[in-house]
């Protein structure tokens, strides 16, 4: 049996605990930097893979010579977050520059393929002085960073079984080249989309702050309004006092397109008109939960209510007070959650009674 495999067997538990510790540390560092990632996973190279690597390379003298026994893979949503995560790694760890490689930079201009950023690291002295990290002082680890589209390329390329264009038919090479270009373009476009959304959020936040709230409603402006609105905050505070219901600071972005459609049906199409409607109907929105059953109220005393629910309640109030069967029909057609025969015909009638009490 190889001496290296004997060392591996003796240190396997240490490798496994280090992998988990390193994963937890990187999770914290990435989260604290405000970066959302698709996955951040750790692994320890299994014995079979290690044995194959030892035989193939035929150069290792000890387990310390093998730099990727412990590995971390970080898959970001966006290509530009790869470099942000790389900055964190370089700041927080001792990087083995000689064995680390930015494989993205090694790609020939006329070659196809998506490659990762690979770091070989050790914990720095600041961390190894801490008791929980001391056992891992001499252990190297590999950190791979790539975007989700780069990862998709790598996985499909691995499944196909060809990592080089050499020897492939020209037609197949053209397919790979076209696809690589499309993925690179898609990565760039997703970054642009995120930047555009961020710019829109900042525009809406500034408009609300400066009192210029005639911004048109879309999913971005509505989400920002829900976060910034003093009217929403006042109603949330009243719900806590009146019903002991806590309103979340977050909203369900999946429901926002439906809410915008409902708001526009009651002639609310700007932040200004939404703000005015909340002020006008504030007391009725606060009354709204009384039309629900006791089970509804008990449920939300134990579970946080999403912030966007208050916009739904505003729509309920406006439609109920309009006494318009056309608006009521539009509401049920828009939410489309119940079959026609099961729709509660008394829904708006019961609400009207509650609001008039």
Residues 133-165 pLDDT 10s: 999 999 999 999 999 988 888 787 777 766 555
Q: How far apart are CA 60 and CA 70, in angstroms?
A: 16
- The domains of the chain are located at 3-185, 213-356
Does residue 83 have a pLDDT over 50?
Answer: yes
Yes or no: domain 3-185 corresponds to CATH 3.40.50.10420: no
- pTM reported for the whole predicted model: 0.70
**What pLDDT band is residue 288 in, cutting at 50, 70 and 90?**
very high
Q: What is the 3-state secondary structure (H, E, C) of 183-251?
A: HHHHHHHHHHHHHHHHHHHHHHHHHHHHCCCCCECCHHHHHHHHHHCHHHHHHHHHHHHHHCCCECCCC
pLDDT band of residue 112 (cuts 50, 70, 90) is very low
Q: What is the pLDDT of residue 240?
A: 94
């Amino acid at each position: 049996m190889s001496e290296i495999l004997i060392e591996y067997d003796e240190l396997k538990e240490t490798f496994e605990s280090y992998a988990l510790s390193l994963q937890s540390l990187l999770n914290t560092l990435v989260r604290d930097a405000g970066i959302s990632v698709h996955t951040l996973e750790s692994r320890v190279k299994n014995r079979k893979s290690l044995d194959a690597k030892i035989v193939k390379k035929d150069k290792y003298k000890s387990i310390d010579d093998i730099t990727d026994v412990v590995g971390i893979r970080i898959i970001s949503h966006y290509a530009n977050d790869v470099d942000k995560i790389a900055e964190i790694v370089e700041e927080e760890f001792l990087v083995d520059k000689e064995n680390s490689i930015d494989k993205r930079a090694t790609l020939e201009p006329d070659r196809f393929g998506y490659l990762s950023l690979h770091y070989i690291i050790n914990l720095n002295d600041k961390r190894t002085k801490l008791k929980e990290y001391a056992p891992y002082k001499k252990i190297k680890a590999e950190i791979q960073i790539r975007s989700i589209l780069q990862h998709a390329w790598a996985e499909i390329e691995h499944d196909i079984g060809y990592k080089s264009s050499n020897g492939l038919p020209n037609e197949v090479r053209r397919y790979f080249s076209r696809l690589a270009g499309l993925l690179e373009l898609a990565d760039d476009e997703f970054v642009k989309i995120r930047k555009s959304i961020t710019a829109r959020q900042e525009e809406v936040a500034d408009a609300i702050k400066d009192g210029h709230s005639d911004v048109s409603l879309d999913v971005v402006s509505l989400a920002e309004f829900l976060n910034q609105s003093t009217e929403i905050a006042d109603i949330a505070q009243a719900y806590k006092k009146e019903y002991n219901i806590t309103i979340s600071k977050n909203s369900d972005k999946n429901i926002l397109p439906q809410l915008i459609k409902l708001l526009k049906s009651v002639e609310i199409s700007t932040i200004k008109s939404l703000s005015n409607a909340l002020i006008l109907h504030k007391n009725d929105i606060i009354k709204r939960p009384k039309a629900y059953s006791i089970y509804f109220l008990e449920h939300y005393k134990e579970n946080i209510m999403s912030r966007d629910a208050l916009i739904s309640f505003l729509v309920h109030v406006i439609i109920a007070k309009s006494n318009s069967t056309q608006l009521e029909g539009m509401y049920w057609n828009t939410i489309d959650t119940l079959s026609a025969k099961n729709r509660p015909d008394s829904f708006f009638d019961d609400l009207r009674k509650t609001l008039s009490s």
